[in-house]
Each structure stands twice: as C-alpha cells, then as structure tokens.
C-alpha cells in the first residue's frame, strides 16, 4: 500500500487498485487484449508502477466475490463474470475483428 496515506485510505486504495486490475484481466481474457505496463524498482522497492492501455470493450456484471487483505499489506480480490449466452456474441465479434471486418 501507499505509505503516504493513512492506513484506512491505503487499504481502500489497494482494494480499488486490485479491482481495476481484476477488470483488466477479465477484459484481457474475454477479448484477448494486450495491456502495456512499466514498473520502476529501486533497492527492491517499487518506485513507479504504470499500466497503459486502451480497452475497446465494456465489462458489465462483474462482481467481487472475495477480498483478502494480506499480511504484507497487499490486497487480493477474486472477481467473477457470468457470460451465459453472451459468449457466442463475443466469439462472433472476435472472429469479425480478426478477419478485418
């Protein structure tokens, strides 16, 4: 967590970051997206962490099913996304994108 924030805010910021990373991973799995990131480490401490990318999809209905605050100060979230019949639509969209239509 960020050391410049009070403990409660640091946990909240860590949870929010974990959720955003979860959405990124869901989008990547569903649509096959590539996200670029850069992390700067000095003396084994992260100095700067940046994730850059454009997401050309919208994720609806994802939910956090579990949040775990770990002893090292990090936060882990487990998210789920029920696709149901939407999977056929997503597959069709991906095929159109790969064929250039």
Residue 64 pLDDT class (50, 70, 90 cuts) = very high
Residue 54 pLDDT class (50, 70, 90 cuts) = low
Kindly tell me the sign of the dihedral angle through the C-alpha atoms of 43, 44, 46, 51: positive
Q: State residue 63's pLDDT score.
A: 92
Q: State residue 66's pLDDT score.
A: 95
Residue 76 pLDDT class (50, 70, 90 cuts) = very high
Overall residue count recorded for the chain in this entry: 101
Average pLDDT score, the chain:
79
Q: State residue 50's pLDDT score.
A: 75
> Does the pLDDT at position 53 exceed 70?
no
Residue 48 pLDDT class (50, 70, 90 cuts) = confident
Residue 77 pLDDT class (50, 70, 90 cuts) = very high
Separation between Cα atoms, residue 29 and residue 21, nearest integer Å = 12
Contact in structure between 16 and 76 (CB atoms under 8 Å): no
pTM score of the predicted model: 0.57
């Amino acid at each position: 967590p960020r050391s410049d924030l009070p403990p409660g805010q640091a946990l909240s910021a860590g949870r929010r970051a974990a959720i955003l990373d979860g959405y990124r991973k869901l989008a990547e799995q569903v649509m096959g997206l590539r996200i670029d990131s850069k992390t700067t480490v000095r003396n084994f401490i992260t100095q700067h962490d940046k994730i850059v990318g454009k997401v050309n999809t919208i994720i609806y209905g994802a939910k956090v099913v579990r949040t775990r605050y770990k002893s090292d100060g990090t936060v882990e979230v487990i998210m789920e996304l029920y696709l149901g019949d939407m999977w056929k639509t997503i597959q069709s969209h991906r095929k159109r994108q790969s064929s250039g239509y």
